[in-house]
Amino acid sequence: MLNKSFPLDAKSVSRLTSRGLPLERLKEQIDESIDMFLELSFAQGVKIIKKRGYFYFDTKYVKLSDAEFCIVDIETNGSNLEKHQIIEIAALKIKNGKIIDSFESLVKTKRINPIISELTGIYPDDTKDAPELAPVMYAFKEFLGDAVFVAHDVKFDYNFISGSLEKVGLESLLNRSLCTLALAQRSIVSYRYSLGYLNDTFALNPNPSHHRAMSDVVTTYGLFTMSLDNIEESLNNVEDLIKFSKEAPRLKRPKFDPFLEKKEEENLEEVAGEKEL
C-alpha cells in the first residue's frame, strides 16, 4: 500500500513487484536524482534495488524466512484523522515466525468518546502520564523501519498511522503492507473473518482483551502464522505472499454459522433434559 505522494504510477509500482522497472521509465516520473529518490524512499520505509539494469522492491528477492514483518494495531478516539488521534499503538516484529521485538504505548489525550472508552477500556485519565503523539510516532517510525506493515483490515491502521506521522512533521509511510483479513480469506475456512470471531474459532490468543492494541496484535500474530501454515502454494518471496493475499481465490465459506448450530444443539439437549425430569 503506497500513499499518493509516491511519484510512480500504478503500472510502474506493479513492475517494481514483478518484472522490474527500466531506468528510462523511472526517470520520467521523478524530479530528483535516482540516488536521491532511492534514499528518500528507503527513509519512508521501502527499499528499491537495481538488478540487471532494472529496479525492484527488495521484497521481490527477500525470502519469507528472512523477511521482517511488523504486526500493528491502533486504538483511536475517532475515525477522522483531521479531528481525532491515536490513543494506543502496539506492534510485534516477526522474523521466520518468531517474535524478535515489540512496541507498545498509550498516547496522551484529553478527549475520548465515552462509547470508545466503553469499548476499549481506555479513559483520558489512563493517558495522563503517557507521551504526546509526536514522540510516540517518532519512536514507532524507528521501530517499524522498512519492515512489511501487517494488520487486520490493514488500510485503516496504515493510513491513520501514515497521516499521524505527517501531523508531527515526518514523511508518510511507503512500507510494503499485508492485510491478514485478506490473507485469512484465502487460507482459512471460516464463517466470518472479524478478528474476534477468528479468535473464538481458533483460539489464536489465549488471553484476549478485544479492542486493546497489544491484545489484538497478539491475536493477529496467531492468525498470520496460522495462515502461512495453511498456504499450499509455493511462495518464494515477500511479493509472492502479498500477491497471494490479493489475488488468490477466496475460500468458500460455510453456509451456516457453526457457533449458532452448536448453540442450537445445546438448547435442544437442555430442553430434552428438562423433559426427562
Closest CA relative to residue 179, chosen from 162, 157, 203: 157
Q: Are strands 177-179 and 48-51 parallel, antiparallel or unpaired?
A: unpaired
- 83-107 per-position pLDDT tens digit: 999 999 999 999 999 999 999 999 9
pTM for the structure as a whole? 0.92
Lowest mean pLDDT among 15-24, 129-138, 268-277: 268-277
- 21-79 per-position pLDDT tens digit: 999 999 999 999 999 999 999 999 999 999 999 999 999 999 999 999 999 999 999 99
CB 262 within 8 A of CB 275: no
pLDDT attached to residue 268: 43
Closest CA relative to residue 103, chosen from 114, 118, 88, 115: 88
Residue ranges of alpha helices (H) inside the chain are 10-17, 23-29, 34-43, 114-120, 133-144, 154-167, 180-185, 195-202, 213-230, 238-247, 258-276
269: pLDDT strictly greater than 70: no
- 140-169 per-position pLDDT tens digit: 999 999 999 999 999 999 999 999 999 999
Place of cell 423433559: 275
- 192-236 per-position pLDDT tens digit: 999 999 999 999 999 888 789 999 999 999 999 999 999 999 999
Using the Cα atoms of residue 55, residue 56, residue 58 and residue 64 in order, give the sign of their dihedral: negative
CB pairs under 8 A, 24+ apart, for 195-202? Answer: 195/152, 195/219, 195/220, 195/223, 198/223, 200/259, 201/258, 201/259, 202/226
What integer is the mean pLDDT of 179-183? 98
pLDDT attached to residue 215: 96
